Amino acid sequence: MSDDVRVEDATTAEFAARRYLESQHPGKTIQVKFSKIWFVGGKGKDVWEVEGILTMRRAGVMKERKSFRFQIDAETGDVIGFETVRKE
C-alpha cells in the first residue's frame, strides 16, 4: 500500500494481504480465505497479523493449497513479514 495509509481495521488488513497475494501470482485464479486477523500493539511497531488459506488453480483442474501468515505494518499497510506453507 505504502501511501502512508494507516490500517485501522481488520477489513483493511485483509485487503492489504489479498493485494499482496494477487501481486505474487499475476494471471492466476486465486481464492483467499482468511481464518484469523488480529492487531498486535508493540513498543516499536504496531502490526496486524493475518492468517488464512490460498487456493490456486494449476494446469486447469489441479489445485494447490497453501496456508499463509502475514505481518502488516499498521502505519503504512506494507507487508513486513510473510510465510507460506504448502498444504497436502
Q: Is 3 part of a structural domain of the chain? A: no
Banded model confidence at residue 44, pLDDT cuts 50, 70, 90: confident
In 3D space, the residue among 66, 41, 52 whose CA is nearest the CA of residue 16 turns out to be 52
Mean pLDDT across 28-51: 92
Integer Cα distance of 43 and 30 in angstroms = 36
What type of residue sits at position 37?
I
Provide the grid cell at 7.
490500517
Provide the domain limits for residue 59: 10-87
Banded model confidence at residue 79, pLDDT cuts 50, 70, 90: very high
- pLDDT confidence of residue 1: 52
Say which CATH number the domain at 18 has: 3.10.450.630
